[in-house]
Structure 1
């Protein structure tokens, strides 16, 4: 799967065995990571600022191209070991509905805020196998000493009061993924 593909049960055999359950889990990835982590899960904030979203992200969010949107990039770590690179794109219209919720996140997990929201709904999960030529692979591996040949990722839109938030999660090399 070189391109983003909607996850369907029939496609499950095409996913790597160790990551199948992680890629397709519709619950909080942070909570699941906490359940298998040796230390506390820490959120390392890498970036939080307004930028022009990439065309692929704008199209997925059904937003006009070249529109300024809020980007948040984090590493979810087991102690100080990076396990997941997460990139969130928040359109201006979504930000304006809940500005203090986003601004007060800091190093708190986004999932904590999302899954506590009573109006939350979610699009289908899409998965992709990223190679070193993909811009998301490059962003996710910037902090790694060793870069694997591929990385698996998933993305979906969360809707808060009907407003979209794009969340993309990239699974970094880890022994954890075999813990189902």
Structure 2
């Protein structure tokens, strides 16, 4: 399973057209809305699950950690999937810094995160993932066949002492054909 340090692939290795998407610090949903018509957020799953191996270290959870709150969504334009997003936080964060997470519904998570000036974002990290990574597998289950590799980025959002990890997997339709 990937370790957190592997989320530092050089951005120069990503396709040139994808680099601005990977490096943009603001709301990804707002950026998508500026470039694509009719962006919709479809909640694929929201509930409790085990964190992935590389998420345990990032969130500083104890090994064999109990379940975390998970939210998975698909951002699409006119039915074409553009981004698969996976967010997790510790159970205790749902009663404190990220208490609104459970009531986000199909609204973009960025609307909550970027509207609160007390929430801070860590630097972005990115990497290329393939069929061995659980997020690639989840994106494929949500969208169907995918190319052998996808680029993803992740960052931490801090609300006081609570942390939310957001990972965004960029799907092929986001890039121009060619």
SS class of match (2:70): strand
2:13 is matched with 14
Is residue 127 of structure 1 aligned with residue 129 of structure 2? no
Q: Is the 8 A contact 1:87 1:167 kept in 2?
A: yes
Q: Which runs of 5+ in 1 are unaligned?
A: none
SS class of match (1:142): helix
Map 1:51-62; keep pairs closer than 5 Å: 51-62=49-60
Map 1:87-98; keep pairs closer than 5 Å: 87-98=86-97
Aligned partner of 1:47 among 30, 45, 48: 45
SS class of match (1:64): coil
Per-residue Cα deviation, 1:123-146 (whole angstroms, up to 9, x for no partner)? 121111011122111111113333
The separation in 2 between residues aligned to 1:123 and 1:50, in whole angstroms, is 24
- TM-score (normalised: structure 2): 0.89
The separation in 1 between residues aligned to 2:61 and 2:155, in whole angstroms, is 15
Is residue 146 of structure 1 aligned with residue 145 of structure 2? yes
Is residue 64 of structure 1 aligned with residue 59 of structure 2? no
The separation in 2 between residues aligned to 1:120 and 1:165, in whole angstroms, is 10
SS class of match (1:143): helix
4+ runs of 1 displaced by more than 4 Å? none
The separation in 1 between residues aligned to 2:58 and 2:97, in whole angstroms, is 21
The CA deviation at 1:100 is 4.8
2:155 is matched with 156
**Higher mean C-alpha displacement, 115-124 vs 27-36:** 115-124
The CA deviation at 1:98 is 4.7
CA RMSD, aligned part only? 1.8
